[in-house]
Each structure stands twice: as C-alpha cells, then as structure tokens.
Structure 1
C-alpha cells in the first residue's frame, strides 16, 4: 500500500493580487499539484487547508485539477477550508465525506474532521461527541492491523507547536484517552502548524507535515512486508521558490513559517509493525 500525503496547500484566489502575483500563483500551485499527482499510489491525501479561504472557486480549482488526473483523492477539512461556507456546501462541491473509514486488508485508514465551521476567530480544533464515539469504535475493532488517522489538527502536546494556543484539537478533548483504544501501531498524520515534526508517544507515531508554500514537499507512506516507511519528498523545480516569493506574503492572513523543515528525524520514519521502531 502506498499513500501520498500533502500538507497545508493554501491555494488562494488572491482577489486583490496584481497580474504578476496571480501569474506566479498559478505557476507555483500548478507545479506543486502536478508533482504531487505524478506519483502512483493507492490514495493521494490532503491534510486540510487545501484552500486559503474556502471560497467555491478555490475549491473548484483544486478539485477540477485533481479530477482530471484520475487519481483517487481524499481531503480532510482544515480550518481555512471552512472559513467561507457551511460544511454541507463544501462537501457538495468536493464530493468528499466529513469523516469516514477505509478498512483494507493490511491497515485501517481513518479520516476525521477536527474543524470549526465558519469561525475566523478560532482556528483551533474540536471533535464532537458523536465523532469521538465513532473513532473509538473504529480503533477498538481494528484488531492487529496498523491504524492510520488523517486529520488537520494535531493532538495536544504531541508534535511541534501543538501546545500553542489554537495549535491543536482543544486540550479539553481527551484525544489521547481515545487513541489508547488502539493497542499498538497507530499513526496520526496532521498539518495545521506548518512545521515538519515526528513524535513517538504512548504507542502512537504523530506525523505533522509543513505547509507547501514554506516547504514545497510531500510525504510518501509505504506499507509493505510488515514495515511502514514514511519519506519526505522535496519538489524538485528550480523556479518554484522564486514564484512563491512573488505572492505568498500578499495572501491575507498567511505568514511564512521559520524553520518549517524540522530536524532530520522529522522527515522520515521506518517502523517494523511486526517488531520495533527505528528512525
């Protein structure tokens, strides 16, 4: 099984952008999306904030491009995606589900929604009781299979910046207690904080991925012969950084992140799901 995972993409309509900025935007996002979709995989996955403000034209640009590629694609909602429209309207445009499971022979994949709806003042995460109960039930029935959870917000006090204000699912929501329902080999993928970070804690591996505009790259997740291998793949295009610098500071509410790459141990991981862990 192979999964290709994208961090916060932040495609922006840039309503007040100059012609030069819009041209650079188009070139940069088309390049990043093209490289992401070049790879063959069972699934291509977005960890949320696929768009910058959640406008219909932003969603349609990305999903039209992905649909034309024919790649199987799953998007979990991010707080930027839910700024402008109710979630029901977003899901109508994208054809996606708010949360769901894919139970494969080799692993269980769980896609969850940690976002608030149309709330520009609070970009932190939440989980309603019904979804928490669903998640707990999925973990309890997963058996010996590895579980891969894909969410936008990290669990509090796991990956880098997850203890910052609004940097995680609200700490009052006892996510770690829910995750303990999985006895071994759980992998939790998230974005939101725009910094690569990998942390092992309480039997889980928490894998946070930086924003594409700060660190143009994606992750490849391979599960084969009893091993999970997570690789960090930079996008190799010598013009990309120049295009990004022409418009990213002009996106309202977007601030470039310092040191988004993290340490070397935040970029790759190998886990023997039959035995032990190595970095």
Structure 2
C-alpha cells in the first residue's frame, strides 16, 4: 500500500497566497503520484470558518485520491464557529476506516481533547472508541495506522510537556497501547517540523507542511510504502526547486 501524509495545510498562517499555491502544487503532485490515499493531519486553514473551510475543500476537490482528514487545534478553536464548521463540512472529531488495502485500519483521533479537554465526556468517549478499535483490529488481524494532529513526543518519549507534545500521563498511556497492539505507524503534524522516529516497532512520522516550515526544510508531503511488514518513505517537495 502506498499512502501520502500531509500536515498543516493551514492556509493563511503567514502568507495566504504562497501557502495556497503550495497546497495546489501538492494536489497536483499527489494526482501525479502512485499514492492510493492521502491522510491530512490537521489544521486545514489558519482561521477555520465555514467560508474558509469551503475554500479549502473546493481546492481539495481537485485531488483524485481518497482523503482521510484528521482534526487539528485550528479546526477546533481558531474561531468560535471552527468546530461546528469542521464537523458539518468534513466529519467527526474521531473515527476509523479501512484504507485502500483492507489489511490496514486507520484510526483518526482528536489530540485537542487529550491536551485541552481531558476531563470532558467527549474525551472519555474517544478513549473508549480507541480501545475498542484497537481490540477489534487485533481480532480481525488488521494492521493499524493511527493519525493525529499533535505528535506524541518531539524528540524523546520522556521529554517535558510542551505545546507540541502530549501530556505525560496521556503519552505513557498511548505509548503502552501502541506497543501492546503493535501499531504500525502514528502519523502527525502540528509542530511544523519534519521528523521520524521508531519506538517499540511503531514508526512516528511528523510530516512536512505546505504552509510554514519552522525547521527550514522543504515544503511538501510524505509518500509511504507499506509492504511485507516494512515501511519506507520519501518526501515530495512542492517548492520551486524540489529536493526530493
């Protein structure tokens, strides 16, 4: 299976028009690619309203691949109507779906609930949903890919809590689950930094972005090949002078 990962399209973060042009270039290159589906790891626009989200989705209509959206913090709180707009126009805050290769199950989660609403009924519901999906996938002998907005950790699973990672108790709980259920990969964004780690057999990927790259690497997206228990990836740049 060949899967693309995008993170933080977030059009309007610094400079609207170049960010929109890079999103369009990503769509063009995705259509040219052999990717079978695309996972977008949150923050569709910098300020999410019904009108701005409709603009984003109008652009995404040009993408001729199945798209799986993951909610980000800007999709929840960048505007009073953000969450309502997202759930109305895109879908639920968390869900699961089979990928083009039905041997793989995608679980999309809302990390905002873990970071900002940990005591909410919605967070408790998502926790139970995740536990059930993991158990069901194991019973069905499906490989699991989890997609989130925030990364579990940035550099070290024991690092201090910051804006860009999960709270330590939640982080430990999730890492234990990933190990127990042998999750293949966890795809994320949020930090606007590209990095990759492997821990206890799970690949952790924070993808390049088409908006603002805080680490100064290229703008773009990732192409993953899942085959024979192995995972390979490369970056596809959308800059004027691509490096990959």
State the TM-score bracket (shorter-chain normalisation). 0.7 to 0.9
Q: 1:24 to 1:55 in 2, by over 3 A?
A: same
- CA shift for structure 1 position 11: 0.8
Q: 1:70 to 1:161 in 2, by over 3 A?
A: farther
In structure 2, the residue matched to 1:54 is: 48
Q: Distance in 2 between matches of 1:107 and 1:210?
A: 23
Q: 1:26 to 1:228 in 2, by over 3 A?
A: closer
Unaligned 5+ residue runs, structure 1?
15-20, 118-122, 241-260, 262-266, 268-279
Q: Distance in 1 between matches of 2:197 and 2:16?
A: 37
The count of residues paired between Structure 1 and Structure 2 equals: 228
In structure 2, the residue matched to 1:206 is: 204
RMSD value, Cα = 3.2
- Residue 223 (1) aligns with residue 226 (2): yes
- Structure 1 length-normalised TM: 0.69
In structure 2, the residue matched to 1:120 is: none
- CA shift for structure 1 position 140: 2.1
In structure 2, the residue matched to 1:102 is: 97
Higher normalized contact order (CA 8 Å, seq sep 6+, divided by chain length)? 2
- Residue 235 (1) aligns with residue 234 (2): no
In structure 2, the residue matched to 1:38 is: 32
Which of 147, 152, 155 aligns to 1:150? It is 147
Q: Where do 1:1-279 residues align within 5 Å?
A: 1-12=1-12, 23-82=17-76, 83-84=78-79, 85-94=81-90, 96-103=91-98, 105-116=102-113, 128-143=123-138, 144-156=141-153, 163-173=160-170, 174-182=173-181, 184-212=182-210, 213-214=212-213, 215-235=218-238, 237-238=240-241
Unaligned 5+ residue runs, structure 2?
none
Q: Distance in 2 between matches of 1:206 and 1:56?
A: 32
- CA shift for structure 1 position 76: 0.5
| Contact 2:22–2:239 (Cα < 8 Å) also in 1 | no
| Contact 1:48–1:191 (Cα < 8 Å) also in 2 | yes
The structure that is helix-richer by fraction is: 2
| Contact 2:154–2:164 (Cα < 8 Å) also in 1 | no
Q: Deviations over 1:111-152 (max 9, x none)?
A: 1111259xxxxx868581221121122222323432110100
- CA shift for structure 1 position 28: 3.8
- Structure 2 length-normalised TM: 0.78
Task: Give the 3-state SS of the residue equivalent to 2:111 in structure 1.
Answer: coil
Q: Distance in 1 between matches of 2:207 and 2:72?
A: 13
Q: Distance in 2 between matches of 1:169 and 1:147?
A: 20
Task: Give the 3-state SS of the residue equivalent to 1:180 in structure 2.
Answer: helix
- CA shift for structure 1 position 190: 0.6
- Bigger radius of gyration among the two: 1
